[in-house]
Amino acid sequence: PGKLRLMYEANPMAFLVEQAGGAATNGQQRILDVEPTKLHQRVSVILGSKNEVERVTRYHQEDAAKA
C-alpha cells in the first residue's frame, strides 16, 4: 500500500472512490474513519473495487497473522 497524506490526498480520493461504489482502506479500517492525529499525517492507502480491496486486505491480514 502507498503512503499518502490523510487530509489532502487519501480522504478526497477515498470519498470519490466510495461514492463510485468502490472501497478505500488502510488495510485495517476505512480511510474515511481514520481520525487524524497530525496535520500532515501519512496513511497506507488501498483503493479500488470492493472485491479487490477486500482481497488485498485479506492478504495483509493473513500475512500479519503468520508473523
Nearest to 30 by CA among 41, 20, 15, 40: 15
pTM for the structure as a whole: 0.86
In the chain, how many domains are there?
1
Expressed as residue numbers, the domain containing 27 is 2-66
Q: What is the mean pLDDT of residues 41-53?
A: 96
- Is the predicted pLDDT of residue 67 greater than 80, yes or no? no
Return the H-helix or E-strand segment holding 46. Answer: strand 42-49
Q: What is the mean pLDDT of residues 44-48?
A: 95
The two beta strands, 42-49 and 22-25, are antiparallel
| CATH number, domain with residue 32 | 3.40.190.80
Write down the pLDDT at residue 1.
56
- Is the predicted pLDDT of residue 62 greater than 80, yes or no? yes
Q: How far is CA 35 from CA 29, 42, 57, in A?
A: 11, 12, 20
The two beta strands, 42-49 and 2-5, are antiparallel
Write down the pLDDT at residue 12.
98
Q: How many CA atoms lie within 13 A of 5 on its CB side?
A: 6
